[in-house]
Amino acid sequence: MLEYQESIVIRRPVEEVFHYMQDISREHEWQPNLREAEQTPADEAGVGTRRRYVSEFMGRRFENVYINTEYEINRKVAYESAAESDTKARGEITWEALGEGTKVTMRFAAEVGGMLRLVPKSLIAQVGKKELGEALARVKALLESES
């Protein structure tokens, strides 16, 4: 299983950063490879919430459904892929209030399958880590420009 993580500090209150990152209608703003996203139930997230994503990774289309396994407002969301997903994966996002902002850490772990089995795992991890870093940098830029 491949595992990687990235962190960033955003100069905005934890409540604001959490709310923005958990708003599925805005995820395309900070996740450039995201093509479609929907949440069930649509109105409010929690443990058991399902999120369906269509995205691209290394030039290939993936459709995954993630189910929240933990959900602590302004603190932590953990999720695992559902059986119908293209990728067997789990992830976690944590938000930590700091004096002048919020530290966000994203962790992701996935089993390599399908055509990606032919790609060196080190390359997949390098690309995945880079994409996480870029996504977090976008969140930072978007939220800090609103101040």
Residue 146: what pLDDT?
Answer: 74
Residue 32: what pLDDT?
Answer: 85
The segments of the chain whose pLDDT lies below 50 read: none
Check: CB of residue 66 under 8 Å from CB of residue 95. no
What is the CATH number that goes with domain 2-145? 3.30.530.20
- Contacts (Cβ under 8 Å, ≥6 apart) of 107: 3, 4, 5, 91, 92, 93
- Contacts (Cβ under 8 Å, ≥6 apart) of 83: none
pTM: 0.89
Q: Where are the domains of the chain?
A: 2-145
Residue 147: what pLDDT?
Answer: 57
pLDDT tens, 46-76? 999 999 999 887 777 888 999 999 999 999 9
Provide the token pair at 96: 């930590």
Residue 2: what pLDDT?
Answer: 83
Residue 22: what pLDDT?
Answer: 96
